[in-house]
């Protein structure tokens, strides 16, 4: 009797499962969750089977499936979604857009864009956002610490001076080791405007180099091509590598489908102070000690004027090997000079005392203001970009100032599907006062 009961229960269970698993006809519509538009070509498949279909041009689908099936909706660029049928006859689904990682593209020789992974040589690129986050007045300095294998050396304290750049060290003992610069297809070197004496440290002023005239606000990207293989198309001038600079143009704005004029304003201010100074001794004064046998007194020279004796420091040299500073009254150099009369015979005295803060108090807070405004516009075939940048830099010492104005105009015309022409005009004007001397 027990076996018979068991057999009847099993038959009842099998019959119940068959009822649940019968096929039903379902239909529905697949749309984009972002904008509500229908999605054609979406694959609708019963998981674990080959049963499936695809949505039509209106995003509609119809399919006969088991009532307990699970449908999987998939489409390129959209997130997949699984939905249980659970006896439903109408199933509408909204798919979300999936973020697709695009292969990194860099600008190589002759302005060609290539996927970085397809290149057979080393190349690194810097985007415009990285150049304008913490702004440098010289775009070469902005590469320091962002590209491996390069060495950037700045001159002139960063105040209008030139910067040298080496890629993977020096290749020549006597020749120029800097890479070739290519800006929108135009090559130039980074030679500075100073004479040989200044370059060898014999004194002079550093008036900068050509690369510092590149305006960071106008740069779209910078690609650093390393080694001879990377720069082969540019010839022997590029034996030390190539830095390819691509400037911003209006064609991207036009390609985005935007209409009318676009305007961008970028302003920034930076402050700087001297944070580290050498350690100075404040015990002995300048010059030499004058021995008593040579007519000195307490280490000073002695001069008699109108019957009055004065102690005078010996400034024959600029080292601080003079008498100990203990507040002695001396006729120092600044006590025989009148701003209106010049050097006079009237002697004043002042204490021979240390001035521990005279160097620190000389320096001021440097302030740099940078303002950029850019206009961009165009149509499907033509576009333009107009950019103006003003940089006003007050240096960290009195009366030091650098004012720089950059004006850039570029235009692009699509002549055919395979031919595009563009032109760029740059005007740079720099006025400086109080540049630091070197050497």
Listed residue (169, 265, 172, 159) closest to 212, CA to CA = 159
User: What per-residue confidence (pLDDT) applies to 102?
Assistant: 46
Between CA 412 and CA 74 the distance in angstroms is: 40
Listed residue (406, 410, 378, 413) closest to 392, CA to CA = 406
Q: Show me where the domains of the chain are located.
A: 2-95, 105-249, 292-355
Domain 2-95 coded CATH 1.10.1740.10: no
3-state DSSP assignment of residue 177: coil
What is 105-249's CATH topology? Ferric Hydroxamate Uptake Protein; Chain A, domain 1 (2.170.130)
User: What per-residue confidence (pLDDT) applies to 112?
Assistant: 55
Listed residue (89, 182, 138, 232) closest to 424, CA to CA = 182
User: What per-residue confidence (pLDDT) applies to 325?
Assistant: 94
Segment-wise mean pLDDT, segments of 10 residues, the chain, 439 residues: 41 40 84 88 88 90 88 88 88 83 53 53 71 71 78 69 80 76 83 71 78 85 75 74 86 71 89 92 91 90 86 84 93 74 75 92 94 89 91 93 93 86 89 82
pTM (predicted TM-score): 0.64
Between CA 66 and CA 22 the distance in angstroms is: 5
DSSP E strand stretches across 6-54: 23-32, 43-46, 52-54
User: What per-residue confidence (pLDDT) applies to 315?
Assistant: 76
User: CA 205, 211, 216 angle in degrees (round to 5)?
Assistant: 115
Structure token digits, residue 254? 């036009």
2-95 matches 105-249 in fold:
no
């Amino acid at each position: 009797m027990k076996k018979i009961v068991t057999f009847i229960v099993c038959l009842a269970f099998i019959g119940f499962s068959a009822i649940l698993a019968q096929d039903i006809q379902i239909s529905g519509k697949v749309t984009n969750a972002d904008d509500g538009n229908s999605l054609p070509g979406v694959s609708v498949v019963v998981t674990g089977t080959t049963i499936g279909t695809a949505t039509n041009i209106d995003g509609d689908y119809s399919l006969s499936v088991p009532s307990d099936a699970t449908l999987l909706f998939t489409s390129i660029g959209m997130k997949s979604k699984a939905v249980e049928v659970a006896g439903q006859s109408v199933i509408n689904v909204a798919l979300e857009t999936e973020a697709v990682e695009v292969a990194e593209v860099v600008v190589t020789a002759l302005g060609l864009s290539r996927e970085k992974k397809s290149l057979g040589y080393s190349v690194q690129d810097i985007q415009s956002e990285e150049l304008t986050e913490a702004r440098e007045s010289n775009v070469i300095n902005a590469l320091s610490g962002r590209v491996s294998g390069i060495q950037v050396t700045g001159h002139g304290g960063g105040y209008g001076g030139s910067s040298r750049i080496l890629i993977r060290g020096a290749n020549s003992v006597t020749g120029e080791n800097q890479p070739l610069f290519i800006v929108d297809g135009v090559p130039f070197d980074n030679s500075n405007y100073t004479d040989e004496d200044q370059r060898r440290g014999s004194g002079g002023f550093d008036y900068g180099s050509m690369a510092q005239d590149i305006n960071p606000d106008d740069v779209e990207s910078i690609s650093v091509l390393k080694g001879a293989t990377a720069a082969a198309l540019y010839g022997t001038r590029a034996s030390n590598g190539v830095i390819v600079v691509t400037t911003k143009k209006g064609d991207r704005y036009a390609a985005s489908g935007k209409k009318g004029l676009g305007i961008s304003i970028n302003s920034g201010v930076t402050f700087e102070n001297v944070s580290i100074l050498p350690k100075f001794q404040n015990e002995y004064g300048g010059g030499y000690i004058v021995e008593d046998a040579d007519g000195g007194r307490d280490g000073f020279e002695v001069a008699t004027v109108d019957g009055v004796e004065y102690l005078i420091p010996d400034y024959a040299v600029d080292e601080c090997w003079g008498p100990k500073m203990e507040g002695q009254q001396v006729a120092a150099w600044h006590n025989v000079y009148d701003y209106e009369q010049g050097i006079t015979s009237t002697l004043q005295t002042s204490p021979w005392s240390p001035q521990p803060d005279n160097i620190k108090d000389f320096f001021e807070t440097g302030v740099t203001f940078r303002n950029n405004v850019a206009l961009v516009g165009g149509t499907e075939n033509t576009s333009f970009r107009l950019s103006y940048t003003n940089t006003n830099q007050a240096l960290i010492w009195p009366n030091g100032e650098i004012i720089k104005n950059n004006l850039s105009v570029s235009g692009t015309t699509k002549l055919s599907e395979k031919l595009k022409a563009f032109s760029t005009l740059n005007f740079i004007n720099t006025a400086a006062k109080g540049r630091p001397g070197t050497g």
